[in-house]
């Protein structure tokens, strides 16, 4: 069931989402060769606590981190660990925060040091596909309009699109209906209505579409072990069009 949010509820979801944006912005500054994803996780815990939020992923179905930190071939759900990042790596950081009972969710893939132009282009195209998807988050459109915008842009560049994981409704819970796939499938295709709040989150691979689950039962990796990118925003559908909630000034 899709839960429509009142303007007052959207204001509260915005507060949580702005905190996510602030935390991601601070983490981005901390990403440098030599830092580990466990150190980034500790920093995230401090930043979230300072803001009186709660890391929504910590303990969610048993997940051990405050953030998901997925390096290179890891697509999503990477568990923070002690291995130092190296120049040329990319790390996808996904952060969800509960603030006063409401949730925001966003992700960004961050270059470590200097990355090659092929990987930079993957990041650029994935970010562009997110914004093209957001442009379609209009009342009267359908979920598939978002999916098609993301998929079409990604496939123009011959990248892989992850199918088993997708975007979702968000706000009152961290994961709500509807699903927001990054491809056009045969699943539910509800019409977008004012008051819907969704997380749009393209997961795009340099190589093949297919992914595998590692034996830690969390980390999703590309089957060909080529690099993957992930960008996500929490977006409200307003009368005037999409409003990106997970943004901040810095």
Q: Indicate whether 105 belongs to the interface with Mg ion (CB under 5 A).
A: yes
Cβ 11 to Mg ion shortest distance, Å:
20
Strand partners, 96: 105
Considering only residues 199, 204, 211, 236, which one is a binding residue for Mg ion as defined by CB under 5 A?
A: 199
Q: Which is nearer to Mg ion, 96 or 160 (CB)?
A: 96
Q: In this chain, which stretch among 29-37, 84-92, 93-101, 139-147 interacts with Mg ion, using CB under 5 A?
A: 93-101
Cis bond before residue 178 (omega within 30° of 0) = yes
In terms of Cα–Cα distance, which of 166, 159, 167 is closest to 196?
A: 167
Q: Indicate whether 107 belongs to the interface with Mg ion (CB under 5 A).
A: yes
Q: Indicate whether 94 belongs to the interface with Mg ion (CB under 5 A).
A: yes
Q: Indicate whether 161 belongs to the interface with Mg ion (CB under 5 A).
A: no
Cβ 223 to Mg ion shortest distance, Å:
22
In terms of Cα–Cα distance, which of 44, 86, 89, 50 is closest to 68?
A: 44
Cβ 108 to Mg ion shortest distance, Å:
10
Residues in 211-230 that interact with Mg ion by CB under 5 A: none
Contact 178, 108 (CB under 8 A): no
Q: In this chain, which stretch among 18-26, 48-56, 102-110, 123-131 interacts with Mg ion, using CB under 5 A?
A: 102-110
Q: What is d(CA 250, CA 248) in angstroms, rounded to the nearest whole number?
A: 6
Q: Which is nearer to Mg ion, 56 or 138 (CB)?
A: 56
Q: What is d(CA 208, CA 158) in angstroms, rounded to the nearest whole number?
A: 9
Q: How far apart are the first and last CA of the chain?
A: 35
Q: In this chain, which stretch among 7-15, 106-114, 189-197, 241-249 interacts with Mg ion, using CB under 5 A?
A: 106-114
Quickly list DSSP for 139-187: TT-BHHHHHHHHHHHHHHTT-EE--SS-EEE-SSSSSEEEEE-SS--SS
Q: Which residues bind Mg ion (CB under 5 A)?
A: 94, 105, 107, 199, 232
């Amino acid at each position: 069931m899709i839960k429509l949010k009142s303007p007052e509820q959207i204001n509260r979801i915005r507060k949580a989402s702005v905190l996510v944006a602030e935390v991601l912005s601070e983490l981005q500054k901390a990403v440098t060769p030599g830092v580990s994803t466990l150190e980034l996780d500790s920093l995230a815990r401090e930043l979230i606590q300072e803001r009186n939020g709660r890391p929504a992923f910590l303990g969610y179905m048993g997940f051990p981190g405050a953030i998901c930190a997925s390096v290179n071939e890891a697509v999503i759900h990477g568990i923070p660990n002690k291995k130092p990042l190296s120049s040329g790596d990319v790390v996808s950081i996904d952060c969800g925060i509960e603030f006063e009972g409401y949730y925001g969710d966003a992700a960004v893939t961050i270059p470590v040091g200097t990355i090659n132009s092929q990987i930079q282009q993957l990041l650029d195209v994935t970010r562009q596909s997110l914004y093209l998807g957001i442009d379609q988050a209009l009342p009267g459109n359908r979920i598939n309009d978002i999916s098609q915008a993301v998929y079409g842009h990604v496939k123009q560049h011959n990248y892989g699109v992850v199918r088993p994981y997708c975007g979702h409704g968000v706000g009152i819970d961290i994961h709500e209906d509807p699903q927001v796939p990054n491809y056009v499938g045969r699943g539910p295709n509800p019409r977008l209505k004012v008051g819907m709040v969704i997380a749009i989150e393209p997961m795009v691979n340099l190589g093949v579409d297919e992914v595998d689950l590692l034996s830690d039962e969390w980390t999703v990796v590309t089957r060909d072990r080529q690099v993957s990118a992930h960008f996500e925003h929490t977006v409200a559908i307003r009368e005037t069009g999409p409003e990106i909630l997970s943004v901040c000034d810095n």
